[in-house]
Amino acid sequence: MQDKITPEIHMIKKPTSKAVAIANFVVNDWLVVKGARIIEGSNGPFLAMPSRKDAEGTYRDTVICLSKEARASLQTTMVDAYLEMKTDETTAPASSRPKPKEAVPTEYEEYANTPPGSW
């Protein structure tokens, strides 16, 4: 069975680092992941999973794909969505640009805007 991944990309208007977009996504209409980032690396853009700094000051991913195939599928879907949005922003006038797709189904809306750790 192919996983359904629904992307939501928010471009960072004036990036101060290599992070160029915030990426949220829904997997199979039952898992919402918020706070991933699209990083503009030397070999092109890639998806960085949400992370948190531990007691030693090292950043650790808080969302981990358990298979290479799942990671590759997620990477492709999210980077493609970023590139599509980036192309739309540079070629279309502001008034005709599509709004970002809402990734969170309305029945989960109350959880979508809740800060991590508060549930």
Q: pLDDT category, 94, cuts 50, 70, 90? A: low
**The predicted structure's pLDDT at residue 1:** 59
Exposure string for 22-46, b = 16+ CB within 10 A, e = fewer: bbbbbbeeeebbbebbbbeeeeebe
pLDDT tens-digit profile of 31-74? 999 999 999 999 999 999 999 999 999 999 999 999 999 999 99
**The predicted structure's pLDDT at residue 119:** 47
* Stronger pLDDT, 99 or 78, i.e. the higher one: 78
Which two structure tokens, joined as six digits, stand for 85? 């949005």
**The predicted structure's pLDDT at residue 112:** 54
Q: pLDDT category, 117, cuts 50, 70, 90? A: low
For the chain, which domains are there? 5-92 (3.30.1120.40)
Q: Is the pLDDT of residue 8 over 70?
A: yes
pLDDT tens-digit profile of 15-33? 888 999 999 999 998 999 9
The conformation of residue 67, written as its DSSP 8-state character, comes to: S
**The predicted structure's pLDDT at residue 91:** 66
Q: What is the mean pLDDT of residues 74-79?
A: 94
